[in-house]
Structure 1
């Protein structure tokens, strides 16, 4: 048995779905089901989803106060007024800033941009920046990807005589800023799609200002939209779909240089943005002023662009090193209490810009919410980020104890916060109480959404091609993950450190390779007859011109008990299940153990095991039992999830010849004839004459001695002249040899399948006949 590291949740389908008997019937059953899971109910919705059309984008004029904003910008351009674009330091913010700057430059505006410093100014507009803008002669400020909560700053702008246009997509508060215009989908009743990213809102404004559809800005929109993790449906899907095409052939020197740093060639997909481009743009603002990222996106000089891209790449490398250093520091110096429902760590000197990433790493490793804070002793404050698990709404829970914070904001899975240093321990205690009251142990597992269970016969290159029609993937349109259940015909570890796992599944003519990165430790936990359940994404692996469907395995589970066959091995590795099961036992006959048994495994003799009433998950059977029914009773009683048969037989009874009745007669006649026999002098003669082993002769003599046919004293055998008539089988030695032979035959010399069947019967279960394989002995 192997427990999954995540909770497996299957995607559901709403009722009253599309009638697939219409013109969409050429789609495969798998794709139809995936489309249904996405809530598509009509043939038109399916067509629009599979073939996104720019014509389906909404009219930007449906955004409230668009006309006011447009008129004010064009007026500023006409009057030669200075316009400041006030952006944000993340990938969405710098993309939005670039979109609007490019638009204003095209219109001949006198413009510049300003990105606040994460460390000294924090997120969004601030009074000091606005006052500085006023001193610099700016008469119009346009925010992008920020500003919807900037009530005070809007008042400052009004006081200074600066007109403020806010373009944003974050959650509006109860009170809105007193700005000249607010362009925000969620503040626009007539605008039906509410989930645009900051770059999407900026693009809509650009379209209105330019008076035409700015196709040349779509590459920037794609970056901001994908990087900001907004739902990739409806308008966002259309913008990213065409934005990726534009990004693949972009003429922007800055993006070309950045793609080269990322080693992106040919067609760009959403994963290239999410894992390569986005993190690099984000890294700039995490470590310094984000202006560099905007300058890179604006750059039209090849040499300068390459220099800027190199710096951006170096900053990303530095960011990765800082994250790794803090994570290592936390793991080495902070004792993670497994009994607590939340991890709260704080230290002076940590870089505030990367704490969200650190928190995410801790969540993935320890499966519980994590809060990572940087301490500022001078200000007496701790500031940082939090990440959560699916079952715990971090935002709502923190709002219950909001008096702990000086500043707090976020959503269910992520948040940023500032609080007095003295409140850090209080925060941990309060959240731990809430979590213990609300969550069960199962809730702490991460969640994986499974689209469908697939048979091996359903998996093909054509299916993978069909699935690609659902791209671009992202929030609200996740890349499908599938469940496959089968017995792997080949299991191996990959990599220099054997950190990765490769499984090969085959059924009839169908086959599937599965790669599980970082799961090489599971290799010894999978028995040869195990039915393995794997969840992952399907793709194509091409090597040396050969294309194969491959699953990138995300999680592994085995739902049944397993038998591991180590019979005949002198040295056993007892660390197989160390991190997976708590109740492990080794069973033997006597107190003498010649193996090095780790401390996490408890010792029991067969007699002690029969009397033991605790929980047993894993059994290492180190020695054959003296009585077969003892082991039968132990297995029936505990039903362990893993059984390791570690038997080693030095002198086999079963494989040795069993003397026939005539053999006993011959030996007895020899003793009777001589009346007295010295074993020391006659043993070799008997062995040579009959071809018997010393052990066989000794066994027959033990039977004679027990039945009182002879007396043996210091190797001298004398005949009992008045023996009672007894059958050979009455001797315990005779019966014990038969019994020992049966035990060896049943447990040691049986095939793997025979041994598996025997244990199944002990467990009160039946096993289906399986193909015999060569294993063990």
Structure 2
């Protein structure tokens, strides 16, 4: 494990900000690292406001999209809301369809079948629109590369509005409107929105036409926050505002579908990590195991009893998903061991009967194990389909683009992508992918890294310090939970392995020269027990959280790693 201590921010800027805010220089330094340098920027960071959201008409083609939808409503056209089968896509479809249905009746939804149709805009979906008399399709979280499909629809007199956030190709589809802040010719101030976020901007523009304000759209923000968390987009700028207020909705007045998913959680207040690890996997399970339309059904249901029934069905799908991904991960690890692939720059595995719905999760698990750009393939019809995952700071999308001669199609982001290819291209692609990664990746990136914000002493850790840190939430990419380094540490003799399988570590740590000590827990760090308990000094990297026991709340260190000094 590499520890990467971030450079010390500009001392003059840090001190000026600390004086202006009345905080210590550690807090001020954390803010400067996040691009916050003035009192006004700090106020906006600590007190995000819905007024900070940008004018949706700053997005290229927004006026065209609104005009085409208003025309459809005026002419009594049938509208089909189409979206991908993952969390981002299904929340976007739920958001767009439920808003449109609040002002107009002729609205239908469509989620492609992961197995029969695959990712993105499908011919089957367009045929469904045609069969049902739909003359406008609003595509969410997909469509930016669907040039042929948009042409196919146009031949049937069906228009498209595309709301996507993936990288465009050299040519844009010939749609009525293409909303994508990553378009080269789009000057929208924030280009890290998720698909549901782009859909929300369209809803915001439509709402403005009806005299509605952003406050009228608050009930939709639980969907947007869920998509932001699940799609692992940066929680900066506009995303941070949407996530913060979306979490407020989740914690105070969530829609019945989300309420049904979280009502058994014993949490006073849900944070972004709860959305990532509790809500999102369950919504995803519908599309992974059965069909994404069941997620939309749950998220648009307004009767709580019915929503609870849908949530129970999805809970079972999620249990099935867990069993499948555990089984396939074991088989994939065995394949890697038997083939002796440990010295490669990439991990690429294939088995034709692996469940397509969980290969993305398996790819993530393999990346955690071997820390290599990873591809997990399975058979999909007469082709092979794969999910790709990457390591920090390596762009797997660019690597796939360099292998495009072997691919039928691909799309995605820097850290996650999907692709299909003909089976006869598999070996050639596997070799080319290895070659591309080997020649472009910095070998240091193949060792996991812990990014450390600052070195501090235990004297810095006070209840006030922690209260201010909590105001940095919601955490996520671009605004991660602060991680600290402290040296000259020693366990007081209470160190022990804990957990059902004894893989976690519990300590009580003191620092030389500090009167206060802190309880500490390290998940998966039981192997470090001897290091901590041999009486020698050590150093540790950790974040700070709270531990509640018998009604008492105390500060606790969440250990990330430890080593001898």
| TM-score, scaled to structure 2 | 0.92
Matched, 1:487 2:483: no
Q: How far 1:258 sits from its partner (Å)?
A: 1.2
In structure 2, list runs of 5 or more residues that go unmatched.
none
Residue aligning to 2:501: 497
Do the aligned residues in 2 keep the contact of 1:13 with 1:39 (CA within 8 Å)?
Answer: no
Query: Do residues 232 (structure 1) and 235 (structure 2) align?
Result: yes
Which of 232, 256, 263 aligns to 1:260? It is 263
Change in 2 beyond 3 A, CA 1:527/1:552: closer
* Structure 2 counterparts to residues 622-661 of structure 1, below 5 A: none
| Residues 163 and 199 in structure 2, CA contact (< 8 A), matched pair in contact too | yes
Aligned to 1:365, which of 364, 369, 382?
369
| Secondary structure class of the residue paired with 1:551 | strand
| Partner SS, residue 169 of structure 2 | coil
**1:197–1:224: 8 Å Cα contact kept in structure 2?**
yes
Q: Provide the alpha-carbon RMSD of the alignment.
A: 2.2
> Which is further off, 296-305 or 247-256?
247-256
Which of residues 179, 199, 204 in structure 1 aligns to 2:201? Answer: 204
**Residue 254 of structure 1 contacts residue 306 of structure 1 at CA under 8 Å; is this kept in 2?**
yes
Alpha carbons of structure 1 residues 358 and 26: separation in structure 2 relative to 1, 3 Å: same
CA 1:410–1:217: 2 relative to 1, 3 Å: closer
CA spacing shift, 1:437–1:317, aligned 2, 3 Å = same
- Partner SS state of residue 182, structure 2: helix
CA contact (8 A) 1:77 1:109 kept: no
Match of 1:246 in 2: 249
Higher relative CO (Cα under 8 Å, sequence separation at least 6) belongs to: 2
TM-fit CA distance, 1:160:
1.1
Match of 2:305 among 281, 303, 306: 303
For residues 437 and 147 of structure 1, what CA distance do their matches in structure 2 show? 32
Match of 1:389 in 2: 391
Larger Rg: 1
Structure 1 residues 94-126: Cα deviation after superposition (integer angstroms, max 9, x where no partner)? 111111111111112310110111111111112
Q: Which residue in the other structure is 2:351 paired with?
A: 347
Superposed displacement of residue 68, structure 1: 2.4
Alpha carbons 2:194, 2:227 under 8 Å: kept: yes
1:540 aligns with 2:546: yes
Task: Say whether the 8 Å CA contact 2:271–2:474 is kept in structure 1.
Answer: yes
Q: 1:442 to 1:178 in 2, by over 3 A?
A: closer
CA contact (8 A) 2:367 2:390 kept: yes
Aligned to 1:170: 166
1:652-731 matches, within 5 Å, as: none
* 2:454 match: 452
Question: What is the rounded CA distance, in whole Å, between the counterparts of 1:41 and 1:394 in structure 2?
Answer: 33
Change (3 A) 1:65 1:438: closer
* Separation in 2, partners of 1:526, 1:41: 38
Label 1:94 to 1:33 Cα distance change in 2 as closer, same or farther (>3 A).
same
TM-superposed deviation, 1:172: 1.8
Structure 2 residue aligned with 1:466: 468
Alignment-derived partner of residue 94 in structure 1? 90
CA shift in 2, pair 1:247/1:519, >3 Å: same
Q: Under a length normalisation based on structure 1, what TM-score does the superposition of the two structures give?
A: 0.68
Partner of residue 510, structure 1: 516
Cα drift, residue 536 of structure 1? 2.2
2:27 aligned with 1:46: no
Contact 2:542–2:559 at 8 Å: present in 1 too?
yes
* Aligned CA distance change for structure 1 residues 494 and 150 (closer, same or farther; 3 Å): same
**CA distance change for structure 1 residues 181 and 427 in 2, over 3 Å: closer, same or farther?**
closer
TM-superposition CA deviations, 1:532-577 (whole Å, max 9, x none): 2222221010101222211121222224xxxxxxxxxxxxxxxxxx
- How far apart, in 1, do the equivalents of 2:14 and 2:543 lie? 26
Contact 2:518 2:555 in 1 (8 A): yes
Alignment check: 8 A CA contact 1:398 1:431 kept: yes
Could you say which residue in structure 2 is the equivalent of 1:140?
A: 136
The number of residue pairs the alignment matches comes to: 551
User: Equivalent of 2:21, from 25, 34, 43?
Assistant: 25
Q: 2:263 is paired with a residue of what secondary structure?
A: helix
Answering whether residue 4 of structure 2 is matched by residue 9 of structure 1, we say yes
Q: Equivalent residue for 2:332?
A: 330
Superposed, 1:552-563 pairs within 5 Å as 552-559=558-565
Q: 1:41 to 1:346 in 2, by over 3 A?
A: same
